[in-house]
Chain A
Amino acid sequence: MRLRSIALICALLALPTLACAAEPGRLQLPDFSALSKKAAQSVDISLDPSLLNLAKSVGISDDSGNGAAVNGVIQGIRGIYVRSYSFDNPGEYSKADVKAVEAQLLAPGWQPIVSTHDLKQGNNVDIYILRNGNRTDGVAIIAAAPRQLTIVNIVGSIDLAKLAQLQGQFGVPRIGLSLHGTPDSSAATASH
């Protein structure tokens, strides 16, 4: 009887983890609280389906009032998770922090679609997508620069081209990577 109770409690405790793992396209982002303390600026966003629906309920529109475009982009999204940290000095995060995420992207289904490496400035941006037939179940963006680390995980399908077109129209302060190297300093590789 006691064993059954313990097993039941364990099963109940494991449910949230199992639910998370069962959601295709969702990455288990490590606990970056240590980085958050060191960072000059940090963004920690976790929008699950219920919060996304709540956000949609207040009406989404960009600065230009083009709400339809934004709504079109977010239509297929089931969750969006962002961790972004800017540091005063280079090298304040370790590669192990990134490796924990990259390891999950080796799982079947995830494909790197674009990878840019700025050798001179040390800026690297990698974009992965999780495909299920013709459907996209998730997107992962890892942007690592000497003074900045950004990880974006979008669960669900999203048109990256449409999302790119919305740049600078959201009316929120930017802390995105600045890749202002000369054309020669940027070596980019793209694969589809």
Chain B
Amino acid sequence: MSDEFEKALQRALRHQSPGEDFSNRVITQLDSAAAPTPARQRVLRSRWLPAALAACIIAAIGLVQLRQRALDAERATQARTQLMQALSIASDNINIVRTAVARAENPNS
């Protein structure tokens, strides 16, 4: 009984050659598993393309806003300079009048 079982086991576990093209078949299987199928490629593209586009749009909006802020700051500085110049001119002329009035009121001073 045990001899029969032992022989059956030996038969089942006997050495068998995998064949000459075994390694080629393994490599082919590995390649086909690694390379995405066209369907898989479509899925990947459909996921990453909108994300990439959104990132580009966000980056573009950010850049435009930065540029706008820089322009606003430039305009504000320019407006400030103009305001100071305008006040300076107005102030100078008011003082000319004040001096002239003071002279007219008190010619001996």
Interfacial residues, chain A to chain B (CB-CB below 8 A): 43, 45, 47, 51-52, 54-55, 57-60, 62, 70, 73-74, 80-82, 84, 114, 116, 118, 123, 125, 127, 139, 141, 143, 150, 152, 154, 160, 163-164, 166-168, 170-172, 174-177, 179, 183-184, 186-190
The size bracket of the interface on B is: 20 to 34
CA of A114 to CA of B85 in the docked complex: distance in angstroms?
A: 22
CB pair B91–A82 under 8 Å, yes or no, is no
Contact code string B82-98 (vs A, CB < 8 Å = 1, else 0): 11111111111111111
CB pair B83–A188 under 8 Å, yes or no, is no
CB pair A175–B89 under 8 Å, yes or no, is yes
Interfacial residues, chain B to chain A (CB-CB below 8 A): 72-73, 75-77, 79-101, 103-105, 107, 109
CA of A82 to CA of B89 in the docked complex: distance in angstroms?
A: 8
CB contact under 8 A between A166 and B87, given known A116-B100, A143-B96, A176-B92: yes
15 other A-B residue contacts (CB within 8 Å) besides A152-B93, A164-B98, A171-B84? A45-B85, A54-B72, A54-B79, A55-B76, A55-B79, A60-B84, A80-B90, A116-B97, A150-B89, A150-B93, A175-B89, A184-B107, A186-B103, A186-B104, A190-B101
CA of A135 to CA of B107 in the docked complex: distance in angstroms?
A: 33
